[in-house]
Structures are given as structure tokens and as C-alpha cells.
């Protein structure tokens, strides 16, 4: 077992190419065993980056050289070869390894990750800092073709090309992000993959030049000639127009080819773009056959009773049915058609479904444009990812008071994915924006009614946020109907204390009231339903009646629902 000998990247440099290939197989076996069988987590992306990871750590000297991973979906092999092998079985578990990159977890995790398209910007900052401080090290950003659909990545590429600092960008191109890639970029990458004239000619010239004395110098000088050749045999490549020297496509599973490529690009001054073709789910046939299904693995408990329907599925099915009657409804997602529950909508109403890629800023303003023309856009975006489009929510939607519906999945604490994915800031960051209405359902049935409420609300933007995973198991009876805006629900009355809860905390609040009743304390329980506007009359009456108020929410305390209630009392 070679993996048992790897306590850090320096140990990789002692292995031969065949030994590295065997190590790659061992790493895949560990990922399959732990992730698919025990902990759950991102599965197919990590199987696809094993050889790429080994080659990077073989050629570069982490942590002196800076390797920055985008998102973190593909960083499990990196963790296994950077001193965390013995703790890998704890990944995504309480007290264990993070499922993403964390600077405090390892000196080899150069930049925290969890959201997409950040790696090139961060790596460029490190490269510029090295120049300013007079330090010599290599900086590598590893980004997937899905994350490359995010506008921030192009902002960084544009800046890097103009600065001409030594930066290596490695594109892990598996033709997918989480869902199949969309947009003009995906089509462009496909053309590069299938066109071999330019890359074959370039490779042949490089082989000839390497045989000459001072071959590396001749190789660098040859790039000017190759630019002319490129214009003859293939259309201008966007990467080189941005100021990068392009290498690729290279086989992302051929360790020897990867090592040779990285050893070469280390010698080039200025920004370099390496295009590696990989297979998502490599080495595990079910994942290779269906990488979309196997993007993440979850662990099923044998003998567990069937779970209630997931909130995302109730949302998607309800929106699909509402769209059958209301032709104004348009659904938008940012590369999460399955995670948001919109696949049924996409199938039933393909002309009204838009997956814009990992581009939350564009998604929000695109929705705003649709709303100006009388449509009812529903932007289904995870709570944590809507943060990425905050200016667009304010400037393009709320200030113009446009009737955009924000369906915010994964609200509250999301469990194993950890701090980068918790949806705990939404109440605070939305509540302060003019014209925004905010609601949160207590269960999956109330979600249906709130979605109908949002569709029917035409006076401005409205957001409904709901948690990850299964509902509480209530029956879904009848057609969804609109709820009165800004009105809560009185669930029970008591004279000793008022418990005012919102969203997923309502059911626990009811259980707490039952425990209090056993101790002789009678509680009023209110399902607030709305964070903004509050049901002021209901809350003030409960406060007057009991003299003691407790608010409950699964969100950031500062600026959240409880803060809104305190502000009401302070008037």
C-alpha cells in the first residue's frame, strides 16, 4: 500500500510513475469506501481529479508553492496526500475534517473554499503578493469547467492577463459542474476537445525543439510562431487573447503527461492556462455512467422508515402545477436544477426554464428583466449562494420594486457541508432592503401555500426560505392558496410566556411548549410566518398578555427575526 507511506507531498516525489499510478488506484478505493459507504460527500468530482492532484503535488512544492482549489468539490485526494490520511474517515463528521478547504485545517489549504469561481482571484492575489514581497514561489489555481461559467472567474482571468504575473490556471474539464454544463463556454470547450489539428502541431514542434541545445529557450521563443500557426489551423483561443499561454488539451488521467506538462509550465514567465480533460467519476463505473446522479453520495440507514418528501421536491412539484395554469411563471436556477427541485418543471415547461450556470448575479438581474415585461420569474437559489448576488437583489430588483420571487433553499443549518453552506444570514441581509417581503414556512404544506402567495404577490419582490432535506411529514391536502401578507398564526394560547417562532423552528417551539406545560408553565405559541412585515398586532398582544417573549429562529441572531421583534418593542 503506497498510500500508507504518504504523510505529505514530499513523499510523492520518491515514487516512480507506475507507483504513482498504483497510488491513484488506492486513493480511489479509499474515496469509494469512505465517501460512498460511510460519510457521504462529494463523490464523482473527487474520483476525477486523483491523477491531477498527484501530478500537481509531485511537481510543485506545497505549501511553499500555492495550490488553490476552486469550490472544494474535488479536493479529497488533496487531503489524502497532505497529512490527513488517518483522519479521512472523519470527513464531514462532527469534529472531523471539513468537506471543503479550510486554512486552519492544513497549511496546504491555501485558501478557504465552498463557493464557486473564487480560485483564480485568490491565486492572483497570492502571486502579486509574492512579487511585491520579493518571494519566489509558484501559484496554481485549479478550477472546474462548471466554475468557469461564473463571471468572477473571467474578471480574474482578464486582470491576470493584463498584469502578466506568473500564475498557472489549471482547468479541470469534465464537461460538467454539478449538472451538465450550459452556455456558449461549454460549446466552446467542446470544440477545443474535439479539434486536434492545433494541439497536434503544437506538440510536434515542442518535441523537436526539446532535442535542440537550449531547447527550453527555443521553446519559449517558438510560442510567437505557434500563435501564427494557431491562426491558420484553428480559431483564436480565448485564453491566449486574455494574455495566457495555453497548453492542452492534456489527458487529466495520464500522470506522466501531466507531470511533463507541469514541469514545462513552471519555466514559463507570465500567466499560463493548462486545459486538462478528466472523467467525472473515473474508476467507479456507476459514477462514470451517471456522474450527475453520483455528484454527491449519501449514506442510507438500513431499515430506516421512508422519509417525508423533501422541501425541494414539494417546491418543484407545486411550481410545476402552478405554471400549468399561470403561463407567466418562469423558473431560473444557477446550475442547481436537481438540488432546487426544478427538474420536473424543466421537463414540463422547457421553454420557461432557464439554467444560467454558476452565475447568481446574472440570474437575479435576468429575473428582474423578465419581471419588467409582466412575467413571474421564480429564482430558485440556495440561501448561501444568493449572498453572491446581493447588489443585484438591492439595485436591480428591490430598488425598482420588481415582482421577483426568490425561492431560497438550504436555509438555516445544513449539516455536514458546514459553515460555507449554512443559510443563516438571509433574514439579516434581506430584512434591511426596501420593498422586500420575507416568509418562512413551518412545514412542507405551508411551503405550498407560501409559494402560491409569492406568485400572486405583484406589489414587489418576495422571498420564501425553507430548509434542506425532508419535511416534517404533514399531509399535503387540497390546492395551495395564498396567505395574507404579514399575518402570523396563533397556534396555542397561554399566560406565562410567548414563544414566537419562524420557519423550521415552529415545530420545536411547539414541543418546548408541551414540556413547559408538564412543568406548569402555560405558553402562547405563534408561527410568525413573516419576518417582514411582522404581524405586529399579534406579537404585541402576546407580549402584553404574558410579559415574557422568546423568539426562535435558525438564523444569525444579529439582524435576524429576533432583532425585528426587538425593534418593534423599542418603538
Does the annotation mark 266 as catalytic? no
Number of H helices and E strands in the chain, helices first, is: 23, 18
3-state secondary structure of 296: strand
Q: Is 553 a known active-site residue? A: no
Q: d(Cα 225, Cα 381) in Å, to the nearest integer? A: 47
Report the relative pairing of strands 329-333 and 296-297 from DSSP bridges. unpaired
Provide the grid cell at 398.
428591490
Indicate which residue of 376, 388, 452, 465 is catalytic: 388
Give the whole-angstrom CA distance, residue 114 versus residue 132: 28
Q: How far apart are CA 61 and CA 83, in angstroms?
A: 14
Residue 411 pairs in a beta bridge with 467
What are φ and ψ of residue 525, in 5° steps? -120, 125
Burial of 4 from C-beta contacts in 10 A (0-12 / 13-18 / 19+): exposed
Instruction: Count Cβ atoms below 10 Å from residue 526 Cβ, excluding itself.
Output: 26
Task: Indicate which residue of 175, 360, 444, 446 is catalytic.
Answer: 360
Question: What angle, rounded to 10 degrees, do the helices at 215-233 and 197-210 form?
Answer: 160
Task: Work out whether the CA dihedral 354, 359, 362, 363 comes out positive or negative.
Answer: positive
Cell of 383: 440561501
Active-site residue (options: 66, 85, 92, 280) = 280
Is residue 418 within 8 A of residue 550, CB to CB? The reply is no
Contact predicate 150/359, CB 8 Å: yes
Q: Which three cell numbers stand for residue 269?
A: 514567465
Q: Collapsing DSSP states into helix, strand and coil, what is residue 211? A: coil
Q: Cβ neighbours of residue 108 under 8 Å, at least 6 residues apart?
A: 9, 62, 63, 67, 78, 82, 83
Among 211, 274, 325, 255, residue whose Cα is nearest residue 58: 255
For 503: left if phi > 0, alpha if psi spans -120 to 50, otherwise beta; the answer is left
- How long is the chain? 571
Name the DSSP letter for residue 89.
Answer: G
Q: Which residues are bridge partners to 139 per DSSP?
A: 66
Scanning the structure block, which residue is given the C-alpha cell 444569525?
556
Cβ atoms within 10 Å, residue 133? 8
What's the N-to-C CA distance of the chain in angstroms?
69
| Rounded CA separation 489/481 (Å) | 15
Q: Is 388 marked active-site?
A: yes
Which residues carry out catalysis? Answer: 280, 360, 388
Amino acid at each position: 500500500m503506497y498510500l500508507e507511506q504518504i504523510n505529505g507531498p514530499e513523499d510523492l516525489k520518491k515514487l516512480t510513475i507506475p507507483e504513482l499510478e498504483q497510488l491513484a488506484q488506492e486513493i480511489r478505493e479509499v474515496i469509494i469506501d469512505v465517501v460512498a459507504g460511510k460519510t457521504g460527500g462529494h463523490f464523482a468530482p473527487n474520483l476525477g481529479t486523483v491523477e491531477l492532484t498527484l501530478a500537481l503535488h509531485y511537481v510543485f512544492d506545497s505549501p511553499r508553492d500555492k495550490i488553490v482549489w476552486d469550490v472544494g468539490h474535488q479536493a479529497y485526494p488533496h487531503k489524502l496526500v497532505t497529512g490527513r490520511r488517518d483522519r479521512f474517515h472523519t470527513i464531514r463528521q462532527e469534529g472531523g475534517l471539513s468537506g471543503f478547504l479550510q486554512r486552519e485545517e492544513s497549511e496546504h489549504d491555501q485558501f478557504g473554499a465552498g463557493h464557486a469561481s473564487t480560485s483564480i482571484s485568490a491565486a492572483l492575489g497570492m502571486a502579486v503578493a509574492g512579487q511585491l514581497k520579493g518571494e519566489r514561489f509558484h501559484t496554481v489555481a485549479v478550477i472546474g469547467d462548471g466554475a468557469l461559467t461564473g463571471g468572477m472567474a473571467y474578471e480574474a482571468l482578464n486582470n491576470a492577463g493584463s498584469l502578466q504575473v506568473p500564475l498557472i490556471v489549471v482547468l479541470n474539464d469534465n464537461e460538467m459542474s454539478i449538472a451538465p454544463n450550459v452556455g456558449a463556454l461549454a460549446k466552446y470547450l467542446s470544440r477545443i476537445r474535439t479539434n486536434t489539428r492545433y494541439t497536434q502541431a503544437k506538440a510536434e514542434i515542442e518535441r523537436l525543439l526539446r532535442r535542440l541545445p537550449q531547447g527550453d529557450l527555443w521553446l519559449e521563443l517558438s510560442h510567437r510562431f505557434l500563435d501564427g500557426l494557431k491562426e491558420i489551423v484553428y480559431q483564436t483561443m480565448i485564453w491566449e487573447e486574455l494574455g495566457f499561454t495555453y497548453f492542452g488539451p492534456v489527458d487529466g488521467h495520464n500522470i506522466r503527461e501531466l507531470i511533463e506538462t507541469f514541469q514545462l509550465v513552471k519555466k514559463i514567465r507570465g500567466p499560463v492556462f493548462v486545459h486538462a480533460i478528466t472523467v467525472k467519476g473515473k474508476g467507479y463505473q456507476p459514477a462514470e455512467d451517471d456522474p450527475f446522479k453520483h455528484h454527491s453520495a449519501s449514506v442510507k440507514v438500513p431499515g430506516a422508515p421512508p422519509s417525508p418528501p423533501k422541501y425541494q421536491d414539494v417546491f418543484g412539484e407545486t411550481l410545476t402545477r402552478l405554471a400549468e395554469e399561470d403561463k407567466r411563471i418562469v423558473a431560473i436556477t444557477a446550475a442547481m436544477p436537481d438540488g432546487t427541485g426544478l427538474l420536473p418543471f424543466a421537463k414540463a415547461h422547457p421553454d420557461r426554464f432557464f439554467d444560467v450556470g454558476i452565475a447568481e448575479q446574472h440570474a437575479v438581474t435576468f429575473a428582474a428583466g423578465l419581471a419588467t415585461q409582466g412575467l413571474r420569474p421564480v429564482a430558485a437559489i440556495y440561501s448561501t449562494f444568493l449572498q453572491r448576488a446581493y447588489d443585484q437583489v438591492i439595485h436591480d430588483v428591490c430598488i425598482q420594486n420588481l415582482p421577483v420571487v426568490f425561492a431560497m433553499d438550504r436555509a438555516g443549518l445544513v449539516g455536514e457541508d458546514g459553515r460555507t453552506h449554512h443559510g443563516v444570514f438571509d433574514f439579516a441581509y434581506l430584512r434591511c432592503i426596501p420593498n422586500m417581503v420575507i416568509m418562512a414556512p413551518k412545514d412542507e404544506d405551508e411551503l405550498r401555500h407560501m409559494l402560491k402567495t409569492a406568485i400572486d404577490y405583484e406589489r414587489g419582490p418576495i422571498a420564501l426560505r425553507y430548509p434542506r432535506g425532508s419535511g416534517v411529514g404533514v399531509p399535503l391536502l387540497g390546492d395551495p392558496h395564498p396567505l395574507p401578507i404579514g399575518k402570523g398564526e396563533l397556534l396555542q394560547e397561554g399566560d406565562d410566556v410567548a414563544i414566537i417562532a419562524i420557519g423550521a423552528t415552529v415545530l420545536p417551539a411547539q414541543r418546548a411548549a408541551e414540556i413547559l406545560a408538564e412543568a406548569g408553565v402555560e405558553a402562547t405559541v405563534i408561527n410568525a410566518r413573516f419576518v417582514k412585515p411582522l404581524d405586529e398586532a399579534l406579537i404585541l398582544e402576546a407580549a402584553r398578555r404574558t410579559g415574557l417573549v422568546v423568539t426562535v429562529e435558525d438564523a444569525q441572531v444579529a439582524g435576524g427575526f429576533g432583532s425585528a421583534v426587538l425593534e418593534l418593542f423599542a418603538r
